[in-house]
Structure 1
Amino acid sequence: MAECPVIEADELEKRLGNSIIVDCRYSLSDPEYGLRAYLSGHIPGAHFLDLEKDLSGPKGRHGGRHPLPPPEQFREVIERIGGTESSEYVAYDDDLTGASRFWFLCRYFGIRNVRVLNGGWEKWVREGRPVSTEVPSARRGHFQPHPAAGMVVDINWVRRMGRGYVLVDSRQRERYLGVHEAIDPKAGHIPGAVNIPYTAVTSGRGTLRPKEELEGVYRGLGGRPVVYCGSGVTACVNVLAMKLVGLDPLLYSGSWSDWVSYEDSPVATGEE
């Protein structure tokens, strides 16, 4: 499989039966939405993965609302769907966020052959491609995770961050500015961060903007990107898009929900 982190629907339809497909649809406001949507119809052969149970680790006082799963948890997920280190994986959802999270976790734990379906579920259905309600079974795979520590940073690293890096906040503008915060206990952003909402790199629901447009979005960052969001999930869309244009971002996996869990963390509001 090529290094390009996305795959188009035409190519995926030709590869049905050859790739391990995962459905990563979810809703923070409706925990049952993802599984309900999957059972109502999915890409043939797709396995459902739950954001909270499969793609996130146990929550603690610190670490954010969606900590990265520990290696043994992700090993179990991959083996359950019949995967190995060399298997080909394609993830999809309906807004790129859950699929990008799976893509990032695969890369982080040592899987290279993984891509995200550009356009996701909605484009797949809109184009009249095959749909199934059959829940597939899989022979158990074998996978040994090898976490790549250099891909993620924690709060201590961010606090010591030196020159040559730039913080990129992937949340919506009003949350970055501190005008509105409905999820986390404090409003605002990490001082020094610039705001590139993950929706700014999409053209329509679940579709990345063309490469030339993405290059324009990220032009002038002035340093290696360190990306965060509310809990480390939607930031993965920016990470995906940055990799597509040749950047080498880091993910602050705990993100804003981790940052504000420490009373001494400074908070900025308004424009930087």
Structure 2
Amino acid sequence: MEIWHVIRAGDKYIFNFKDLRPWFDEWYDRNVEEQELDSEIARELAFPCWVFDHAVGFAHVTKWLVYNFPGHITERNPIGPKYRHIHLAPPDFVGLVNQARGRLKTVLRGPLWEKVGSLLSEPHTCSCWQKTSAEYLAALVKCKVYPLEESFPKNSVTQIFNRLEGFGHTSAAKDCKPCNVNWPECVSSACKIARGYFDGLCLDCMDHSKPKRADEDEDYWTHDFKPSARWDQNCRISHGEPTWYHSWLGRDDRRQKLLKERHKAL
């Protein structure tokens, strides 16, 4: 990828990459916006988008990787071993995107399990609840989705969505209200929630949350974070709470404190 040769030259001759932002914006619009990403291109683009502070591109690439890369997400440096030092620090990329990918497993599991969990845990007077629960779980296994602990490490989230699109099992317990669950709706709802969960990493949230002084209590969040405001306040991309959460580079106890303040304010 030619953009990496520019980065290599900048590393060698100590360019100020901020001066090249307009050029990269134009390069990105011309070469990336209409191009369909794949695993290699997306992994190669993460660092350039970060270097040139391209918030839209970084969010786009990281979201694509979280949903479409099978297994553990890593960067890719296409210019050889001599330049291995040119990369994002693992806590600034690898840790964040894999944390978001792992969280999607929990997000998907919740609505997939909710109804069948109720059938398995609540007392019943009918004789069909066991068969109903077993048939639903067997249908998920047949789709090669369940258990998620086995399917997630080997497949992308999008592959799992695609398999769940083939889910067509319906309850045979038409005369039993507790057991007559609309299983296709449960599966469809789980996919919808998971698809809308993550908007990609936000460079502005990353920058704001990264400690810049010895005294972290004097950082951006102490002065400018409004608990009742939008999660993407002062950001160049639109996003919700999960992107804010997964883009956090500060101390976890500080993040949890801000979340509690936010929930109290709502």
TM range (shorter): under 0.3
Task: Compare relative contact order (CA 8 Å, sep 6+) and give the higher one, 1 or 2.
Answer: 1
Q: Greater share of helix residues, 1 or 2? A: 2
TM-score under structure 1 length normalisation: 0.24
TM-score under structure 2 length normalisation: 0.25
